[in-house]
């Protein structure tokens, strides 16, 4: 059973991971806006950040380089948002 402190720690770790992912996205994809402009649940593709398949490849490479995690190219759910990326990365850490 998790204590409230354990829960707070997990939430903080997830927030930190999401921030690192947002920083990686802005830097690696040379996005023209601030890290804090991207929300954790904002879609990365389509009407969200409007990224494309080349960006997906860059994200996959960046995630592997920064976190040592690997993403499958056909795992659309993992590329859905920063929060979804964080879930996949957490599963592999």
| pLDDT tens per residue, range 17-35 | 999 999 999 999 999 989 9
Q: Is the pLDDT of residue 58 over 80?
A: yes
Q: Which of 75, 73, 23, 31 has its CA nearest to residue 51?
A: 31
Task: Outline where the chain has alpha helix (H).
Answer: 4-28, 53-67, 82-92
Question: How far, in whole angstroms, is CA 1 from its chain's centroid?
Answer: 28
Cβ-based neighbours of 62, under 8 Å, separated by 6 or more: 24, 25, 28
- Measure the CA–CA gap between 63 and 25, rounded to whole angstroms: 9
What is the residue extent of each domain of the chain?
4-92
68: left (phi over 0), alpha (psi -120 to 50) or beta: left
pLDDT in tens, 30-56: 999 899 999 999 999 988 888 998 999
pLDDT at 86 > cutoff 80: yes
Kindly state which CATH superfamily the domain 4-92 is placed in: ACP-like (1.10.1200.10)
């Amino acid at each position: 059973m998790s204590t409230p402190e354990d829960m707070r720690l997990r939430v903080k770790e997830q927030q930190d991971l999401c921030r690192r992912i947002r920083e990686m996205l802005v830097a690696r994809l040379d996005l023209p806006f601030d890290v804090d402009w991207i929300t954790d649940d904002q879609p990365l593709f389509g009407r969200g950040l409007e990224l494309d398949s080349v960006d997906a490849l860059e994200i996959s490479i960046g995630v592997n380089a920064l976190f040592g995690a690997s993403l499958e190219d056909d795992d659309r759910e993992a590329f859905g948002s920063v929060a979804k990326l964080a879930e996949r990365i957490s599963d592999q850490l």
